[in-house]
Amino acid sequence: MLKWALIFAIVSIVAGLFGFTGIAAGAAGIAKILFFVFVAIFVVLLVLGLLGLKALN
């Protein structure tokens, strides 16, 4: 998911350089959503992993 966020961020930068501001804004919005979804899933899995390690000890 982080890979797709980076791809959309690069698309946004390239579109912005060529003057396609609407496409750049859309791609930046998608990249931002994907990044925050990635962070949320990462935090949830990190907490579950830490709780699982404590349960085994």
pLDDT digits (tens, 9 = 90+) for 30-41: 999 999 999 999
Query: Tell me: the pLDDT tens digits for 14-57?
Result: 999 999 999 999 999 999 999 999 999 999 999 998 888 776 65
State the total domains in the chain. 1
DSSP codes of every residue in the chain: -HHHHHHHHHHHHHHHHTT-HHHHHHHHHHHHHHHHHHHHHHHHHHHHHHHHHHHH-
**Residue 30: both structure tokens together:** 């998608």
The candidate with the shortest Cα–Cα distance to 25, out of 42, 38, 12, is: 12
Domain that holds residue 28: 2-56
The candidate with the shortest Cα–Cα distance to 9, out of 42, 38, 53, 24, is: 24
